[in-house]
Amino acid sequence: MKYFKKSVLLAATAVLGLGVAACDSRSENAEEKAAQDVREASDAAADAMENRADAVRETSEAKADNMENKADAVRERGDAKADKMEDQADKKDTTPE
């Protein structure tokens, strides 16, 4: 999970850094793309967690439920972060596309 977080942050930082060098509308697009990448990465991680939960459900219902709750939290945090990134991109860009 640490590797996942570092990868997402590194990718988002790289995309945002490249977006700053571009004009406003390209910058906004790059930031929104980075937000979408964060959203997709958190969804993929949550899906993997849910698949592991399904695999252990036969032996421990409580453990599977706990894993699914954690997957839901990962998905929610990713969505919240992506939403915040998109909002910030919208506020920065005053140039219409």
- Summarised one tens digit per residue, pLDDT across range 36-79 is 999 999 999 999 999 999 999 989 999 999 999 999 999 999 99
User: What percentage of residues in the chain have a pLDDT greater than 90?
Assistant: 56
pLDDT of residue 97: 52
Q: Work out the number of other CB atoms within 10 angstroms of the CB of residue 9.
A: 12
The residue type of 9 is: L
pLDDT of residue 5: 58
> Pick the residue with more confidence: 27 or 11?
27
d(CA 16, CA 38): 12
d(CA 45, CA 5): 10
Q: What are phi and psi of 90, to 5 degrees?
A: -65, -40
d(CA 64, CA 49): 10
Instruction: Give every CB contact of residue 71 below 8 A, 6+ residues apart in sequence.
Output: 45, 46, 47, 49, 50, 53
